[in-house]
Chain A
Amino acid sequence: MSEPAIRVEDLSKVFRLHTERRSSLKEIVVRGRSRRAGSFQALEGVSFEVPRGTTVGLIGHNGSGKSTLLKILAGVYRPTSGGVVVDGRVSALLELGAGFHGELTGRENIYLNGSILGMSRREIESSIQEIIAFAGIGEFIDSPVKVYSSGMYVRLGFAIAVTLDPEILIVDEIIAVGDEEFQRKCFDHLFRLRNQGTTIVLVTHSMGLAAELCDTAVWLDHGHVRAIGPAPEVISEYLGAVNENEALSNDEPGMIRAGLDAVRSGSGEVQVRAVEALDQLGRPLPVVLTNEPLTLRVHFDVKVPVRDVTIGIGFIHENGTGIGGSNTREHGVPIQLEPGVGYIDYTTDRLDLMPANWRMSTAVRSHGHVYDMLEKAFPLPVRSSGGSTEGGAVRIHGRWGAAVQEDSPSTAPSAATP
């Protein structure tokens, strides 16, 4: 096996915590140097190697030490003990346009930022036309960057970063801010670098991206490496732990109450109280998983007898689009209700909603009359048990056939022979 591109050996980082920073001379003179009130161990005994040409994802919850590790790899922080050695030219992209000076024009900032990123004047000059074209900000290139929109700012920062030709790239997912098109450009660039054989270290919260881009993943938990290995396995393990944690923090598992901002309308003879998420055995389901069986139990109060009632449920994606729904009338279930409390179940064998923070609406009506309506009232976080690479809001059903090559002589003997 070849030499690794990055070797992290028993790396630890301790931040000193001053109860009160005494950074001024007066304070030091008057009150003495601040005692080291405490320290915070951001990383402890982290070791791993990144083979040349592979992409590694750093995953973990907030505060797990991902960003600290990234900054040490980028050289911004020094390790307290242990060390990092690299084999090749390292470029770090922790923020786009970080070195821009507002008074300078875009063109002048290209020179400044390029030199900060370690490019020589000749390298910058040979690629400046390419940078300007890639940024696509037109005549603004000769205006001071202080008049730029935030979108133009990151586009220019990214255009400079693209021309870097690093052997090792340290990159933070948050560089992909901005509109969809820009995000796609960023990720396309990462894929291109990866295919060229650049070694990439990526911090990401998107398990989909991690599964798609990374060969291996390092799961950090409170400064320790909790798991390291092939990306899909580590990601599933991580998501499993996250889902478990979410379940533990829920004191009323499975019960979904209307949010505080919910607006109820309707005449109120029947009112929906809550929705309960259950698994196929009728047990409360603390975390709703995509592609798994789900029963949604709609609990309601009835005040006066009602006839010919339709109960409906709707699913709204986190981006606000109503994706679909179902109601009892479509399924031919006639409902007559007497005063009291009750519930009705809606069951699916495989939840086709993709991971997102969904919301549910409920409606109780009869022949156009609305008894009760709660729009987008119930939060329904759908999670995944593995990093999914399929995008979108819902799963589309269908099958793929085997790939057939039509012009290959070995597999397709000429059918035209008489």
Chain B
Amino acid sequence: MRSVRYTPPLWRQWNLVWNFAQRDLKSKFKGSALGWAWSLIVPLATLGIYTVVFSFIFRAEPPDLGNGRDGVFVLFLFAGLTAWTFLASSINGGISGLIGTGALLKKIYFPPYAPVLGAVVAVGVQSLIELGLFLSVLLVLGNVGWSWLLVPVWAAVFTTFTVSLAVIFAVLNVTMRDLAHLVTIALQLLFYATPIIYPLTLVPEHWHSVPLRVLIEWTPFSQFIQVFRGLTYGLDAGSWMSWLTMVAWAALALGIAALVVRRRGGDLGEEL
């Protein structure tokens, strides 16, 4: 005898998660003439706009490439933007994914995190395309190093962190619908508070005796993005401290996500 809410272990639910991801991906591009091409055009366009604004108008100075050549601002930006887009789109996608699946949760029981995971996977597919494009360009420029081998490890930790945040916000948003709007604002703020479009060295060390640079450096988002940029653009494996910090943040987020799902996830069929 078992409970009616029998939930198979996570890896056995891949089919469901992947089908939710396919739903998100297919419905996103269905009916548009360029279809999948948009998943490349949109990030490239964003990249182009930031490049024009920051390298021609503000004349930002990117750090040198890992192989010693002069820095290329577009690539510097590309690294940070790819990682950030994955995080932000996953959180937003997870929130709308769970709300969009609400009617279904009233009819059939499945773990409420499944559509959120599906949304993250859908975003991840696009991020992988961007990552491939980015690494190809670096390869052409001869900026390749052993640090690239750590990229999958970094991706695993970052994905855990991102998935956990997406699940936390998506589940909490069902009972507190304002969260979606707050998250939008918070993500915008964090985008500028994270060294994505500017190098950390541009941040003043102190601002009215507030150690601004240290604060920004050690936010979880900065750590993930700086390490990724270090691995790919700077060919730098990153410090033990940075890696420990990232793993700690990911573990904390995962723990909170598990707690939220256990506390709030059970009755979503009634709340949605």
Task: Count A-B contacts at CB 8 Å.
Answer: 100
Q: Within 8 Å CB of A85, what residues of B? A: 1-4
Q: Does B69 contact A (CB under 8 A)?
A: no
Asked whether A75 and B103 contact (CB < 8 A) given A23-B176, A103-B30, A144-B30, the answer is no
Q: Are A116 and B19 in contact (CB under 8 A)?
A: yes
A121 nearest CB across to chain B (Å): 5
Q: Are A92 and B15 in contact (CB under 8 A)?
A: no
Task: Provide the bound-state CA to CA distance between A118 and B108, in Å.
Answer: 10
**Contact mask for chain B residues 86-106; partner A; CB cutoff 8 A; 1 contact, 0 none:** 000000000000000001111
**Which residue of A7, A86, A95, A103 is within 8 Å of B27 (Cβ)?**
A103
Q: Does B175 contact A (CB under 8 A)?
A: yes
B101 nearest CB across to chain A (Å): 8
Q: Does B177 contact A (CB under 8 A)?
A: yes
Q: Does A396 contact B (CB under 8 A)?
A: no
Task: Provide the bound-state CA to CA distance between A75 and B16, in Å.
Answer: 17
A146 nearest CB across to chain B (Å): 10
Q: Within 8 Å CB of A118, what residues of B? A: 110
Q: Does B45 contact A (CB under 8 A)?
A: no
Q: Are A99 and B104 in contact (CB under 8 A)?
A: yes
Q: Does A176 contact B (CB under 8 A)?
A: no
Q: Does A187 contact B (CB under 8 A)?
A: no
The size of the chain B interface, using a CB distance under 8 A, is 35
Q: Are B1 and A3 in contact (CB under 8 A)?
A: yes
Q: Within 8 Å CB of B269, what residues of A? A: 71, 76-77
Q: Does B61 contact A (CB under 8 A)?
A: no
Q: Which of B137-187 contact A (CB under 8 A)?
A: 175-179, 182
Q: Interface majority SS on A: helix, strand, loop or mixed?
A: mixed
Q: Are A84 and B178 in contact (CB under 8 A)?
A: no
Q: Does A370 contact B (CB under 8 A)?
A: no
Q: Within 8 Å CB of A137, what residues of B? A: none
Q: Does A241 contact B (CB under 8 A)?
A: no
List, sorted by A's number, 15 A–B pairs whose CB atoms are closer than 8 Å: A25-B182, A28-B176, A76-B106, A77-B269, A78-B266, A85-B3, A86-B3, A90-B4, A90-B6, A92-B108, A94-B108, A103-B27, A108-B22, A111-B19, A117-B108
Residues of A within 8 A of B (CB): 3, 7, 15, 23-26, 28, 71-78, 83-87, 90, 92, 94-95, 98-99, 101, 103-104, 108, 111-112, 115-118, 120-121, 144
Residues of B within 8 A of A (CB): 1-6, 15-16, 18-20, 22-23, 26-27, 30-31, 103-110, 175-179, 182, 266-267, 269-270
Given A74-B4, A76-B269, list of 7 further CB < 8 A pairs? A7-B1, A23-B176, A75-B4, A90-B6, A94-B107, A116-B104, A120-B15
